[in-house]
Structure 1
Amino acid sequence: MKSILNIIKGITFSVTVLAAVSSCMIRKEYQRPEQVVDEKLYRTDMLPSDSTNIANVSWKQIFTDPILQGHISKALDNNLDIRIALQNIASAEAYLKQSKAAYQPTLSVGPNYTFQTQSINTQFGQIIGARRYVNQYDITANIAWEADIWGRLKSQERAQLAAYLSTVAAHKAVKSDLVADIASSYYQLLTYDAQKRIITETIALRERNLETTKALKIAGTLTEVAVQQSEALVFNAKSMLIDIDTQINLLENSMSLLMGEPSRSIERSTLESQQLPIDVKLGYPAQLLANRPDVMRAEYNLINTFELTNAAKAQFYPTLRLTGSGGVQSVDIDHLFSVNSLFANVVGGLAQPILNRRAIRTNYDVSLANQETAYLNFRKAVLNAGKEVSDAIRVFSVQDSFIELKQKELNAYKNSVEYSQELVNYGMANYLEVLNASVNSLNAELNIANAQYNKMSAGVELYQALGGGWK
């Protein structure tokens, strides 16, 4: 008995050493491609770089409006895409647990009953000479175990771990997108409110101008043409008011959907009360890999395909499997649990694939192609991240200058309206000049509201582009 135990220990030790050495020879360790990350990944021509990054700041410190914070919190709790992403994580976690259990032997136990009778017309039946009936009862346990000599199971486990982490990154990406969408939509609503107020004030002003025009016509200073043109401006402004109300309603419906609620009116503050504390400190391009969920997900997908390639390569080598079964077996149920009913067998086999209809080679070739595709997608994700950062930096950095110029333009148009109206009153100018100045003044005022929104929207995009929003 002692010699048998020594033999088993020797075999186990040899298999363990062989597996460790062989798996190191076959398996390759993943290393991040160095050429993916470039120190000049995004354009920082006009901005200083810093080791910090606004993406590391919680969204609550970026979006300080308490009403907006409430909307974001509700969306993170109720959004259906968030809940779907959580279910994907749960599914991937289950597969990861399964891959970890692959190292353990499989064990099954169960009772069986067999009824058997031989044909009399066979050679064995002719010898017996009569039909016989056999009842057999058994309780059998089966066990099987595969030695991970070439690291195939280890590669599959790491592939599942990467797949799990990819779903976690996907969840972070959904959160980041959701926070940015809610904030951007909220600021757009505030912009619509500001533009609605401007249009409402313009309608009142144009109606007063219409009355003035009618009085000047009666006095003989202006003609009916000027009256009709003034009335057309009133109708134009009223149609713009209908359009802005429609845009507000549609955007409220979209925000309600993001928050997982039926369409309703959205509570909000004012555009003038908003402050977006964005201090542009970019950090180094490598931080994009640590902060942007889409980049993280792309790299985890690359790791997954890399490890699956290792697993596919290991299939070219022999597989060592140990199987065994044992239990009790008897043709008489009364003696089933007798010592004489015990049986057992153990089988160890080393199988080397030779002809397998090219299935192993095909699997390996496909895994290599998938790995290259994942690498290209990873590089594409990094380049796209750099582009989005560059775009957001440009838009965000020029908005203050743009708004200042638009404000000067508005002031000039307002003065033009006043001067031209005064000249018309004295019969020294054409009323068409008043109309043009009025239209230009309204457009300039609406453009200022849009420019203020563009600045906040660019701040949101920069925060998201650097990987913020999910923390």
Structure 2
Amino acid sequence: MKRFLVIAVALAVSGCAMVGPDYERPGTPLPTQFEAQAATASPTAVAADWWKVYGDEMLNELIVESFANNADLQGATARVEEADAVLREAHSALVPLVNGQLGAARGRVLGNTPPVGNAFTVGVSASYEIDVWGRLRRGERAAQANLLASRYGRDTVQITLAATVARTYFGVRALDAQQRASQEILDAATESLDLATKRADAGLVPALDIYQAGSLRSTASAQLKEVARLRAALEHQLGVLTGRLDVKVPTGRLVSLPIPPQAPAGLPSQLLERRPDVREAEQRLVSATELIGVARASQFPTLDLTAAFGIANPQISDLFTTGSRFWSVGAGLVGPIIDGGRYAARTDQATAQARQAEASYRKSVQEAFRDVADALSNVQLAQETEVELQHLVEQARQTLTLSRQRYESGYSAYLEVLDAQRTLNDSQIQLIRNRQALLSFTVDLMVALGGGWDPSRA
């Protein structure tokens, strides 16, 4: 028994070596820094709860509710719990398995007296696989990497959910602004229709002016109803995202939402490493690399140790008094001799799957860099466009004022007023949509950098 234990310990110590490759992060050549983009760039750090920089309590409430009730996020959380259970199962393979047993049997043995008898047993048995080639340890590492990947996957779902809620909320606010602009246009069109009717009744203008003014009013009224329809649809979408289907968003002002501080110049590209989707892709690669070792170790024999101890007696009443004690220890070596290349093929499969995971990781890093570059340029250009559109709206408003004055004085036809009103309408909608896009681009930047940034910790 002592010799057996000495051999088992020696084999266990020798099992420290593991076959298969160890993980090394593949190189992903990228520029060291992003180009300076935003004119309002600031070294101010943005925390992980980046949505609070917009200073809107309703938005904060919606995102918190989505974290608590969204079905996609709940599913991602369940996947983390599943991966945790898989890891605990993999870890349990590294410790002995001990079973209790209680048996009763009746049988006949030729030549014995009496020929038919009972047998009652109670005992324990244990089995343990010496991890000589590292198959179990690499399996545990693979499960650990999968757990981390699942956690990062959940973080990706969470940050994507917050971004979707924010963009949808900004859409609601943009429609509120369009609704006010459409109402303003409708009111102006109603005044123009009244004016044209009075001037036509007085014989100062043809009836055509009434029809043109009426057409403008009908267009403005239809536009107002379409805006209300779109707003209701976005509100319903927020209900699904937050898990509160009866959610109601009160009317608000789009311009009250501030543009958050932008990323500072020369932002280091290492910030991409904190993105949860990039981390998830890397942990998938780590797991796939460890599974190569698992497959490789399966080509070698496995060494199992077994032990059993118990009591047996033909009479159950005497089992614990005069029963016979028994024990046994043993070791077994089992391995493939002729497998037709089965295990080698499995190793090749695992190697190919690791190469696929590496390609996915490289692609995720490259796409992450592109996301940040796109978001930076989008924010910069949208800010510049907003300045131009503000000038355009002001000019269109002045043009409409002058056109109405000329029409009231009889110096021009109503068509000039009609064109000026349409130009103002279009320019207001463009400004509102650009503002919505600018806010959405700032969200894109937050997400692209993994949820805010802190240059001092890059």
TM-score (norm 2): 0.91
User: 1:56 and 1:8, CA in 2 relative to 1: closer, same or farther beyond 3 A?
Assistant: farther
SS in 2 for 1:347: strand
Q: Distance in 2 between matches of 1:57 and 1:423?
A: 56
**Equivalent position of 1:200 in the other structure:** 183
1:66, CA displacement in angstroms? 2.3
User: 1:51 and 1:194, CA in 2 relative to 1: closer, same or farther beyond 3 A?
Assistant: closer
**Equivalent position of 1:30 in the other structure:** 23
**Equivalent position of 1:403 in the other structure:** 386
Pick aligned residue for 2:13 from 11, 17, 30: 17
**Equivalent position of 1:121 in the other structure:** none
**Equivalent position of 2:100 in the other structure:** 109
1:339, CA displacement in angstroms? 5.8
SS in 2 for 1:263: coil
User: What amino acid is the match of 2:102?
Assistant: P
User: 1:132 and 1:16, CA in 2 relative to 1: closer, same or farther beyond 3 A?
Assistant: closer
What CA deviation, in whole Å up to 9, does each residue of 1:320-362 have, x standing for no partner?
1111222112223344235661112222122231223543223
What CA deviation, in whole Å up to 9, does each residue of 1:44-76 have, x standing for no partner?
26469x997956543255232223222222222
Gaps of 5+ in 1: 119-123
**Equivalent position of 1:277 in the other structure:** 260
**Equivalent position of 2:164 in the other structure:** 181
Pick aligned residue for 1:343 from 326, 335, 339: 326
**Equivalent position of 2:115 in the other structure:** 132
Q: Distance in 2 between matches of 1:269 and 1:14?
A: 74
1:131, CA displacement in angstroms? 9.7
**Equivalent position of 1:96 in the other structure:** 87
SS in 2 for 1:321: strand
User: What amino acid is the match of 1:95?
Assistant: V
Contact 1:138 1:329 in 2 (8 A): yes
Q: Distance in 2 between matches of 1:277 and 1:406?
A: 20
- Aligned ranges 1:258-337 → 2 under 5 Å: 258-267=241-250, 269-281=252-264, 283-289=267-273, 291-337=274-320
SS in 1 for 2:118: strand
User: 1:32 and 1:463, CA in 2 relative to 1: closer, same or farther beyond 3 A?
Assistant: same
Pick aligned residue for 1:384 from 367, 392, 395: 367
2:65 paired with 1:74 = yes
SS in 2 for 1:103: coil
Q: Percent identity of the aligned residues?
A: 25
SS in 1 for 2:93: helix
Pick aligned residue for 1:452 from 435, 439, 445: 435
2:412 paired with 1:429 = yes
Contact 1:175 1:470 in 2 (8 A): no
Pick aligned residue for 1:461 from 420, 441, 444: 444
Contact 1:72 1:182 in 2 (8 A): yes
Gaps of 5+ in 2: none
User: What amino acid is the match of 1:93?
Assistant: D
2:77 paired with 1:86 = yes
Contact 1:54 1:466 in 2 (8 A): no
User: What amino acid is the match of 1:187?
Assistant: F
Q: Distance in 2 between matches of 1:332 and 1:324?
A: 25
| Of 157-166 and 361-370, the range deviating more from structure 2 | 361-370
User: What amino acid is the match of 1:287?
Assistant: L
User: 1:384 and 1:39, CA in 2 relative to 1: closer, same or farther beyond 3 A?
Assistant: same
1:18, CA displacement in angstroms? 1.7
Please report the RMSD computed on the Cα atoms of aligned residues, expressed in angstroms: 2.6
Contact 1:52 1:283 in 2 (8 A): no
1:98, CA displacement in angstroms? 1.4
1:180, CA displacement in angstroms? 1.1
Q: Distance in 2 between matches of 1:440 and 1:274?
A: 26
What CA deviation, in whole Å up to 9, does each residue of 1:183-241 have, x standing for no partner?
22222111111110110011011011011111222233322222111101101011111
Q: Distance in 2 between matches of 1:442 and 1:467?
A: 38
Contact 1:175 1:469 in 2 (8 A): no
User: What amino acid is the match of 2:271?
Assistant: Q
What CA deviation, in whole Å up to 9, does each residue of 1:251-287 have, x standing for no partner?
1111122111123311464222211322213632222
Contact 1:298 1:378 in 2 (8 A): yes
Q: Distance in 1 between matches of 2:213 and 2:174?
A: 27
| Of 231-240 and 72-81, the range deviating more from structure 2 | 72-81
SS in 2 for 1:134: strand
| Of 414-423 and 457-466, the range deviating more from structure 2 | 414-423
- Aligned ranges 1:43-54 → 2 under 5 Å: 44=35, 46=37, 54=45
Corresponding residue pairs, total:
452
Contact 2:51 2:166 in 1 (8 A): no
